[in-house]
C-alpha cells in the first residue's frame, strides 16, 4: 500500500510539472498571424538605411567645396656682406642667398554662384600671386582674388567656368542657429581632400575679443567639429546640408574647439568684395577694458597704480591711438566712457558695435568721467586704416 501511494504521489508531481512547463513555454510561440503582426511592427519602427543625415548633407553641398592652392613670391633683404665684391669673388655666387622665395599655401572654399564666385577666408588667399582652384570632380581653374578683408577674414575668389556647369552650395540662415544644433565641417585639412568632421554648435555670438583675436571684428560660431589648417575657408553645414558658416583655423592653439564666420556676415559683404571695393570699418581709436566700481576701488587702493580712475561702471580708456578720431576729440587715457549717443555702455564689445552700426563719418556724442568731472565730447568716426 505504501509503495502504491508513493507511486501515485510521484506521478501527480510529474504531471503538474509537465503542465507547468507547457504553460510557460507555450507563451513564447505566437500564432502565425500574431508573428506576422509583430514582424510588421518591428519593421515599421526601425528602418535601416544605408546613408546617415551627414552623408546626405555632404552629398548636397560637397561637390561645391573646392581646394585652393596659393603661391606668393616673397622678396628678402640681402645682407650687405654678400654684395661686397671681395666676399662675392672669394665665396662664389653659390654663397649668395636667393633674393626671392616662393611660398605655397593651401585652403578651402565653396562656390556660391554659377558664374564662378567662391567664398573663402582672407588669410587663405590674401597677397597670393597665384590661386589654383580644384573642384571635387578633378577640374582645375585659375582663380582671381576679387577682394579680401582682413578685419572680417573674408575673401571672394572668381573663376571662369568657360561654359561648363558648376555646382553651387545652398546657403542657410546663421541667425536661426541654436546651441546644440548639428555642425558638419567640410574641407581639405593638411592636404587631405574632401574631409568631413561632425560636431555640434557649442556657442553662438562668441566675440573675436573673447576668442583672443582683437584685430578681428566678428562674432564667431563656436563648434567642436574638428577644424584644422586647410579647413580654413570651407563650409560649416547644418543637418540639411546648408552652409551656416565659413570655417577658420585662426587659433592654432585651440584644442577641441573651432570657429566659423556666420554665413549671414559673408552674405552682407559678398557683393562688396566681389566688386573689389574696400569694406567699411568705422573706428574711433581707443584701446579699452571694462570697468566696475569694485575694480576701480581695488586700483585706487594700490599705491603703485599709475592713475586713479572714477569708481563707476563703464569702459576705461587705456590708450588713445595717435591721430585717431578719439585723439582729435581729446579723449585721454584714464577716461571712463559711460554712454554713447545717450545709450549707456558697460562693455567694450557693445561700444564697438555702436561704432560699426554708425558707419563712416558719423558723429557720436560720448559721455565720460575724467576724474570726478562728467564731460560730453563729440567724436567723428573714420575708416580704419592699415587694412586691405
- The residue among 232, 178, 186 whose CA lies nearest residue 205 is 178
- Angle at alpha carbon of residue 372, lines to 296 and 343, rounded to 5°: 75
The region, left, alpha or beta by phi > 0 then psi within -120 to 50, assigned to residue 49 is beta
Respond yes or no: is residue 232 known to be catalytic. yes
Query: How far apart, in Å, are the Cα atoms of 39 and each of 28, 199, 385?
Result: 14, 35, 71
> 69, 149, 153, 335: which one is catalytic?
153
- The residue among 189, 206, 172, 201 whose CA lies nearest residue 349 is 206
Residues with Cβ within 8 Å of residue 333, at least 6 apart in sequence: 307, 317, 318, 319, 320
Antiparallel, parallel or unpaired: β 243-248 and 117-120: unpaired
Q: Phi first, then psi: what are they for 99, rounded to 5°?
A: -80, -25
> 232, 281, 324, 335: which one is catalytic?
232
Locate 90 and state its grid cell: 672669394
Question: Among positive and negative, which fits the CA dihedral 124, 187, 62, 183?
Answer: negative
d(CA 362, CA 359): 6
Farthest CA pair distance, the chain = 135
In the chain, the N- to C-terminal Cα span, in Å, equals 115
Look up cell 511592427; give the residue.
Answer: 41
> 69, 108, 123, 219: which one is catalytic?
123
Respond yes or no: is residue 153 known to be catalytic. yes
Respond yes or no: is residue 123 known to be catalytic. yes
Burial class (CB in 10 A: 0-12, 13-18, 19+), 224: middle
Which residues are catalytic, by number?
123, 153, 232
Amino acid at each position: 500500500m505504501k509503495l502504491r501511494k508513493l507511486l501515485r504521489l510521484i506521478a501527480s508531481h510529474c504531471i503538474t510539472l509537465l503542465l507547468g512547463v507547457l504553460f510557460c513555454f507555450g507563451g513564447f510561440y505566437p500564432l502565425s498571424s500574431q508573428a506576422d503582426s509583430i514582424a510588421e511592427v518591428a519593421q515599421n519602427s526601425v528602418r535601416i538605411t544605408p546613408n546617415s543625415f551627414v552623408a546626405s548633407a555632404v552629398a548636397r553641398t560637397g561637390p561645391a567645396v573646392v581646394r585652393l592652392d596659393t603661391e606668393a613670391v616673397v622678396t628678402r633683404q640681402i645682407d650687405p656682406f654678400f654684395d661686397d665684391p671681395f666676399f662675392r669673388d672669394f665665396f662664389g655666387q653659390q654663397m649668395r642667398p636667393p633674393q626671392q622665395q616662393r611660398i605655397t599655401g593651401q585652403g578651402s572654399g565653396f562656390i556660391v554662384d554659377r558664374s564662378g564666385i567662391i567664398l573663402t577666408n582672407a588669410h587663405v588667399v590674401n597677397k597670393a600671386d597665384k590661386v589654383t582652384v580644384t573642384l571635387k570632380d578633378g577640374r582645375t581653374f585659375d582663380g582671381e582674388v576679387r577682394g579680401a578683408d582682413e578685419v572680417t577674414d573674408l575673401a571672394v575668389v572668381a573663376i571662369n567656368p568657360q561654359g561648363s556647369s558648376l555646382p553651387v552650395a545652398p546657403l542657410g540662415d546663421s541667425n536661426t542657429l541654436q546651441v546644440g544644433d548639428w555642425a558638419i565641417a567640410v574641407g581639405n585639412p593638411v592636404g587631405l581632400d574632401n574631409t568631413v568632421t561632425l560636431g555640434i554648435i557649442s556657442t553662438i555670438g562668441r566675440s573675436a575679443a573673447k576668442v583672443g583675436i582683437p584685430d578681428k571684428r566678428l562674432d564667431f560660431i563656436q563648434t567642436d567639429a574638428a577644424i584644422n589648417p586647410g579647413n580654413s575657408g570651407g563650409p560649416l553645414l547644418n543637418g540639411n546640408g546648408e552652409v551656416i558658416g565659413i570655417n577658420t583655423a585662426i587659433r592654432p592653439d585651440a584644442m577641441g574647439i573651432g570657429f566659423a564666420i556666420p554665413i549671414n556676415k559673408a552674405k552682407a559683404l559678398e557683393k562688396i568684395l566681389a566688386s573689389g571695393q574696400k569694406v567699411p570699418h568705422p573706428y574711433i581709436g581707443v584701446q579699452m577694458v571694462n570697468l566696475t566700481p569694485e575694480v576701480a576701488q581695488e586700483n585706487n587702493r594700490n599705491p603703485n597704480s599709475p592713475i586713479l580712475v572714477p569708481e563707476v561702471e563703464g569702459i576705461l580708456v587705456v590708450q588713445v591711438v595717435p591721430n585717431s578720431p578719439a585723439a582729435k576729440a581729446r579723449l585721454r587715457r584714464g577716461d571712463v566712457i559711460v554712454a554713447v549717443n545717450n545709450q549707456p555702455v558697460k562693455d567694450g564689445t557693445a561700444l564697438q558695435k555702436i561704432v560699426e552700426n554708425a558707419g563712416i563719418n558719423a558723429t557720436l556724442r560720448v559721455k565720460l568721467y575724467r576724474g570726478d568731472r562728467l564731460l560730453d565730447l563729440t567724436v567723428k568716426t573714420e575708416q580704419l586704416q592699415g587694412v586691405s
